[in-house]
């Protein structure tokens, strides 16, 4: 019994000294220029389904949302603009950038986990000019 108590006391003392060690400096974040800010509605909007960036230009990013359309930034997220507002749907399930040509973008509309706040979508779209115009492929 006495040895058990002694072991517990030594264990408590040893574990208390672990927290007293000098911390390492934090590693700088990959996107240190970004700051957190509100960029969307709070209730049913704002869910993001896919994020794709151009491999050769990581400042160009596309964000496909569950019910808020498709958005593009060319300045690492400082400003965003919608690039799909003239189409018949605003719900996305997936987005892909062609590996051989970053101007070719495929967008799958409709949400896989459909809820009452989103639509089913209407097929696949393709852009050949970096998301400026879209062709409905069915």
Closest alpha carbon to 90 in 98, 81, 102, 82: 82
Q: What was the pLDDT predicted at 31?
A: 62
Cα 94 from Cα 59, distance rounded (Å): 20
CB 133 within 8 A of CB 103: no
Residue 113: band (very low, low, confident or very high) from pLDDT cuts 50, 70, 90 = low
- Is residue 40 scored above 60 in pLDDT? no
For CA atoms 91, 92, 98, 102, give the dihedral sign.
positive
Burial of 70 per CB tally in 10 Å (0-12, 13-18, 19+):
buried
- Is residue 105 scored above 90 in pLDDT? yes
- Domain residue ranges of the chain, discontinuous segments joined by +: 48-136
pLDDT above 70 covers a percentage of the chain that reads: 67
Q: What was the pLDDT predicted at 35?
A: 73
CB 104 within 8 A of CB 128: yes
Unique residue bearing structure tokens 């949400």? 111
What average pLDDT score do residues 70-98 get?
91
What average pLDDT score do residues 84-103 get?
90
Q: What was the pLDDT predicted at 26?
A: 60
Cα 99 from Cα 3, distance rounded (Å): 66
pTM of the complete model beyond 0.75: no
Residue 104: band (very low, low, confident or very high) from pLDDT cuts 50, 70, 90 = very high
CB 104 within 8 A of CB 97: yes
């Amino acid at each position: 019994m006495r040895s058990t108590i002694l072991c517990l006391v030594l264990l408590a003392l040893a574990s208390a000294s672990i927290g007293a060690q000098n911390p390492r400096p934090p590693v700088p974040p990959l996107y240190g220029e970004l700051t957190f800010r509100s960029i969307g509605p709070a209730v049913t909007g704002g869910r993001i389904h896919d994020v794709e960036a151009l491999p050769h230009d990581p400042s160009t990013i596309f964000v496909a949302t569950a019910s808020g359309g498709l958005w593009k930034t060319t300045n690492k997220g400082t400003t965003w603009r919608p690039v799909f507002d003239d189409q018949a749907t605003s719900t996305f399930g997936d987005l892909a950038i062609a590996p051989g040509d970053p101007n070719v973008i495929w967008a799958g509309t409709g949400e896989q986990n459909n809820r009452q706040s989103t639509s089913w979508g209407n097929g696949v779209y393709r852009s050949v000019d970096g998301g400026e115009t879209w062709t409905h492929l069915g």
